[in-house]
Structure 1
Amino acid sequence: MDYVRQQDVSCLTFRFNGRLTFRDSAAFEAVTGEIAASSVPWIRFDLSGLEYLDSYGIGLFALARDAAEQAGARLELVNVKGPVADVLYRISFDCIVSTPQIGDLRISTMRRTGAEARVALAGNFRVTDQERFLPIIQSAISDDFSRLIIDLGQLTFIDSIGISLIMTAADEARKVGKEVMLGNPQGSVRDLLRLTAVDTVVQVV
């Protein structure tokens, strides 16, 4: 097994190649060590180049999941296919570690640093996601912090309802003396925030 590591402001990605077995235990310790030391909300294992995974390799993924949770991040497996997908789905590993479909909205674990809370969104934010988004934001607003940052660094699409929900969250926060900020918007999401002038109402950082 070998891997390529890539990191941006909101996601640490490991792209694995070859076969992951008990022989890779020592090499995988470097991966879990980096996860434990990371400060990003998303850890992503890209399995597009992984050809084989034995039971020990599955255990290594579980250890990585635990390391991510302890670091306040969420681990997800992407580009899962072929024999590796067959093994993971046969044992319902997707119930333990997220294996999102392309475009699904994912919401990270809430992270706290002093008086600041941060939640990250990834994928596509559509009208059908409001029932998942609102309870998390309402819970965050009711907590004892002064600032909530919604990290959009891994969000690839947002529709008008998503924009409206973010504005609603900001309004609700202001009513109780708290502040909502939007972090790291990229590409078309950043452009839409500018086009709709959301960035003049909600601070973008």
Structure 2
Amino acid sequence: MQYQIVEANSQATIYLTGKLYLQDIEELRCDLVQALEKGSKWLTVNLAGVTYIDSSGLSLFVMLHKCAEQLHGGLTLLGAHGMVQEIFKRTRLDTLLSIR
């Protein structure tokens, strides 16, 4: 998995590509928590380039959703498709998270 974080004002946009597995989560989580701590309370994650996500990736998005809400911000997931979109539906996380 590869990612890029673009921060501006109180917004951070994260572009993910590849497969999101447990071994990738810790570095990404640290970078995203750091973005929240620096003032980016609105997170947008572009999942258009993601082909697979495991349960650790799902838990990362739930954690980010909660952290952003505590800061009176939010998390939006964009571009989920195929298997990734299906995983969000099967776990019913599409009812909790803002997925477009």
TM-score range, shorter chain: 0.7 to 0.9
Q: C-alpha distance in 1, partners of 2:31/2:95?
A: 22
Q: Alpha-carbon deviations, 1:106-142, whole Å to 9, x = none? A: xxxxxxxxxxxxxxxxxxxxxxxxxxxxxxxxxxxxx
Q: Is the aligned partner of 1:64 residue 2:64? A: yes
TM-score with structure 1 setting the length: 0.45
Shift of 1:20: 0.9
Q: C-alpha distance in 1, partners of 2:62/2:55?
A: 11
Question: Which 5+ residue runs of structure 2 have no aligned equivalent?
Answer: none
Q: Tell which structure's C-alpha radius of gyration is larger.
A: 1
Aligned length: 100
- 1:55 paired residue number: 55
Question: Which 5+ residue runs of structure 1 have no aligned equivalent?
Answer: 101-205
TM-score with structure 2 setting the length: 0.86
Shift of 1:51: 0.9
Provide the identity percentage.
26
Q: C-alpha distance in 1, partners of 2:73/2:34?
A: 12
Give the match's secondary structure for 2:98.
Answer: coil
- 1:77 paired residue number: 77
Distance 1:9 1:32, change over 3 A: closer
- 1:33 paired residue number: 33
Q: Which amino acid aligns with 2:87?
A: V
Give the match's secondary structure for 1:80.
Answer: coil
Q: Alpha-carbon deviations, 1:4-50, whole Å to 9, x = none? A: 11122342100011111111232122233224314245210000111
Instruction: Assess if the C-alpha contact under 8 Å between 1:35 and 1:67 holds in 2.
Output: no
What is the RMSD of the two structures over their aligned residues, measured on CA atoms? 1.7
Greater relative contact order (CA < 8 Å, ≥ 6 in sequence):
2
Residues 52-131 of structure 1 aligned to structure 2 (within 5 Å):
52-100=52-100
Q: Alpha-carbon deviations, 1:56-100, whole Å to 9, x = none? A: 211111111122122221001001111101111121212111013
Instruction: Assess if the C-alpha contact under 8 Å between 1:36 and 1:70 holds in 2.
Output: no
Distance 1:18 1:76, change over 3 A: same
